[in-house]
Structure 1
Amino acid sequence: MARPSRLRIHMCTIIVCRKDVFGLKHHVRCSGNGRVIEILILLSIPATPMTFSIDKLTIKPASKAQVVEAGTRSSVEWAKWLTLEQYLKRDEESLAQYHANEGKLISWVLVPKDDPETLDFFCACETYKRDIFVLPKGQITATPKVGYGVASVFTPARHRGKGYASRMMSLLHFTIAELGGIPPFPSTWGSVPPVRVGQPGQVSVLYSDVGKFYERCAPGEGVGWTITSPMTTEWIIGIDDDEAVPTGVELLSQDEAIALVAGDLYHFKKDLESRGPSERIHFGFQPTASWCHFQMHRDDEHPLYISSPPSIWGAKTKTKGEIHFVVWQYEALPKPRLIILYSRATPETFPGLLAAAKSACLREKHVAIEAWNLDEALGVVAEELGGRTYERTEHLPAMKWYGEPGEIVWVGNNKIHWC
């Protein structure tokens, strides 16, 4: 039975939500003059959360109500400048976008096997089905395959420290992986998850903000997701930097920048194939317009960009009949910066393209430019241009391979694929 409790508040303004992150239901009564507000809180969950045996839990695709509840919980830590309503609306609108629609995005929840529709689930995550290229050992032709991006892993504070998140992630392998790439389901884990994706993947990746935690989330044996090259190159922009765009370099609108990324698919595949034949297996996520669009619009609702939306999203130049380019996004926090999403450049063309990015940075009053895993061929020139390369401590790319055994190389491990 719910236990009502009252708290009386004087001389203040209150904004009451329909439900807080703990699932508490509120009933509000105001006095005539509005100076005294009585809030009746119905405790719809136990004061001390119940602890379930891990083998009594399973993972399943979330119902619509569970998706909303998962978003409500995670908004406490991830909404940033968004209100709860804006945060949930952004998630809902994302479902209609091409990178997520038609079942490519699935939300998962960890629930008791005997109460799968509960809104008091233990934790949640999301997966995105992605198109990849794989270059097998000893081959020179890459083939299209399926991979997965894992995102939005969230456990509310009251369920943390009990092994729920690690069990959810360990179970997730059995819903998205090619069966030949994982060991048999452990008999001590209870029953196999009831739902598997229609197209299992050869690889899954995620971006960890909790160090090597996900490495422990194995499918019973071996390891889970292994951190792979979390390198960042950063240029600090000063007031003395030149705002001029070099001759021969053209600035790009958002639509033009997205079109260049989508049009680079053929060249990306050729780059991958140029690494063969090799004793190692190479794979990479296909560059697409939809994922470029997704990254570029993440911060649209930040006050900085509402008042002054950026108009320049990339730069290009022509060399020897080819188009070289860099494409970027803008991020307001933790410091206003420009992040290179994708690039095609050589040591000869990169300086002019970076100068254009610096010009855009100055124009938008941003303080830094950042690139993830810049092409090795650009390392020396990046340093000569004032870049500092270091191993970052957040958004750590990590992968779990389910395909043919061997040493795996992730090609194109850059910001456009973050999720």
Structure 2
Amino acid sequence: MASPKSSLILASPTDEERRRCWKATHPQWGAALSLDAYLAREQRQLEIPLARNGGLTNWILTTREGESVPPPAGGSTDTGRPVLSSCETLKKRALVRGKDGIIREGTAHGVASVFTDPAYRGRGYATTMLRQLADTLGKMEEENRGDAMFSVLYSDVGKKFYAVNEWFPHPSNHAEFAASVDDTPAVSPEALKILHFDDLPPLVAADEQLIRKEIAQPPHPGHPAIRAAILPDLDQIHWHLAREGFVCEQLFSRRPNVHGALYTSSSGARVWAIWARSFSGTVAEPAKNTLFFLRFVVEEGVSDEDLREALRAIVAVAKKEAADTACAKVQMWNPDRRVRAAAEELGAKYVVRDNDSITSLNALGEIRGEPVDWVANEKYAWC
């Protein structure tokens, strides 16, 4: 029998072990899909540009060779080493503004799909895995084998579990609109543009420059001196759209071709949203499905009045797109003060999340253990 947790190791799974992990997670994260479709989606996501060339890494907690752990309740039909807990990390382009005011470019690790089979729960395996993962990611940077400056994850078990392993919770709020097909305001074609995939490259490039300008600013009063951001580049957006497209193809036999909307104000300043759907339920369970604004961008020079009109027009398109694809709601994560006020004027419900999708960040390298101001903490960074 294995001795304590010293016998447990973080390892890369074999293809067969990775498939076992996917099968185990299907009931929790694949409710909208058959098992075969879910397995196909997970395999397909490995081929997305963001995941290629070491972009995505799968991890399992298992035992050292020749050692064992108590079998799961009810026994197991699996052969080979036990998969006690599992997760994956996805590299993303990132920026950090240090206390010295210097902006450094590198990557962030998005930690996702943290899972322990119910038969193995209650033994501390997920905690052990996360502690080893945090140490591994940190050592990779200390040994100059990577350029990651922080990692992020999204907790569905509240704010405390991950915080003990240094993934500290950050603001996790959203404005929510009910889906509808009956709320389309009159907007001139010159002012409102529907966004298709080919429209996105120049917008994400412009957005990157806006984030670079924002993160270069001194810390806001009452905020940490260190500022960090994940860049919403085209690979990051494409990861969400590919996932959405595969599921919609299974559910509706078609892929969405409307990925957002852009409003140009009378001054020429623009407001835009890029979105994607997430399905936690079937077509018959729209209350479980959501159209998320991956990123909501307001350029400089947009007045409060123009912002209200822009939001009204963009949200109307989003609400119709949501309703057309069995999504009961539209969500915008962490809107700033101006956007929140405009959203609430339009009837949005403002929600402070305490238990699910808690945005959490773990600083690495020279900023490890330091408080961090997370710039542009929106849905696009989720994985």
Q: TM-score, normalised by structure 2?
A: 0.82
> Residues 346-357 of structure 1 correspond to what in structure 2 (within 5 A)?
346=302, 347-354=304-311, 355-357=313-315
**Counterpart for residue 5 of structure 1:** none
SS of equivalent residue, structure 1 residue 129: strand
Report which of the two structures shows the higher radius of gyration computed on alpha carbons. 1
CA distance in 2 between counterparts of 1:262 and 1:214 reads 36
Alignment of 1:201 onto 2:158: no
CA distance in 2 between counterparts of 1:169 and 1:311 reads 38
**Counterpart for residue 254 of structure 1:** 197
CA distance in 2 between counterparts of 1:333 and 1:118 reads 32
**Counterpart for residue 318 of structure 1:** 264
Deviations 1:187-240 (A, max 9, x none): xxxxxxxxx99315221110011113533543xxxxx21111011111224565
Code of the residue aligned with 1:342 in structure 2: it is R
Task: Identify if the C-alpha distance between structure 1 residues 72 and 368 changes in structure 2 by more than 3 Å, giving closer, same or farther.
Answer: closer
Deviations 1:38-80 (A, max 9, x none): xxxxxxxxxxxx7762111110122222211211211132221
How many angstroms does 1:179 deviate by? 6.9
How many angstroms does 1:258 deviate by? 5.3
How many angstroms does 1:249 deviate by? 1.4
Counterpart of 1:58 (choices 2, 6, 9) is 9
Q: How many residues align?
A: 350
CA distance in 1 between counterparts of 2:16 and 2:111 reads 21
CA distance in 1 between counterparts of 2:141 and 2:250 reads 48
Unaligned runs of 5+ in 1: 1-49, 182-195, 219-223
Unaligned runs of 5+ in 2: 68-78, 282-286
Deviations 1:361-390 (A, max 9, x none): 225525432100113332222222222222
Alignment of 1:125 onto 2:83: no
**Counterpart for residue 234 of structure 1:** 176
Code of the residue aligned with 1:408 in structure 2: it is V
How many angstroms does 1:411 deviate by? 0.5
User: Conserved in 2, the CA contact under 8 Å of 1:176 and 1:200?
Assistant: no
SS of equivalent residue, structure 1 residue 177: helix
Code of the residue aligned with 2:95 in structure 1: it is F
**Counterpart for residue 111 of structure 2:** 150
> Residues 390-409 of structure 1 correspond to what in structure 2 (within 5 A)?
390-392=351-353, 393-402=355-364, 403-404=366-367, 406-409=370-373
**Counterpart for residue 214 of structure 2:** 271
How many angstroms does 1:103 deviate by? 0.5
Task: Identify if the C-alpha distance between structure 1 residues 147 and 105 changes in structure 2 by more than 3 Å, giving closer, same or farther.
Answer: same
Code of the residue aligned with 2:16 in structure 1: it is A
Tell me whether 271-280 or 70-79 shows the greater mean CA deviation.
271-280
CA distance in 2 between counterparts of 1:173 and 1:255 reads 38
CA distance in 2 between counterparts of 1:379 and 1:166 reads 36
User: Conserved in 1, the CA contact under 8 Å of 2:172 and 2:352?
Assistant: yes
Task: Identify if the C-alpha distance between structure 1 residues 146 and 299 changes in structure 2 by more than 3 Å, giving closer, same or farther.
Answer: closer
**Counterpart for residue 169 of structure 1:** 130
What root-mean-square deviation, in Å, do the aligned CA atoms of Structure 1 and Structure 2 show? 2.8
Code of the residue aligned with 1:66 in structure 2: it is E
Higher relative contact order (CA 8 A, sep 6+): 2
CA distance in 1 between counterparts of 2:244 and 2:215 reads 31
CA distance in 1 between counterparts of 2:80 and 2:145 reads 25
> Residues 30-41 of structure 1 correspond to what in structure 2 (within 5 A)?
none
CA distance in 1 between counterparts of 2:220 and 2:341 reads 27
User: Conserved in 2, the CA contact under 8 Å of 1:228 and 1:399?
Assistant: yes
CA distance in 2 between counterparts of 1:246 and 1:305 reads 33
**Counterpart for residue 71 of structure 1:** 22
Counterpart of 1:296 (choices 217, 241, 245) is 241
Matched residues, percent identical? 25
Q: TM-score, normalised by structure 1?
A: 0.75
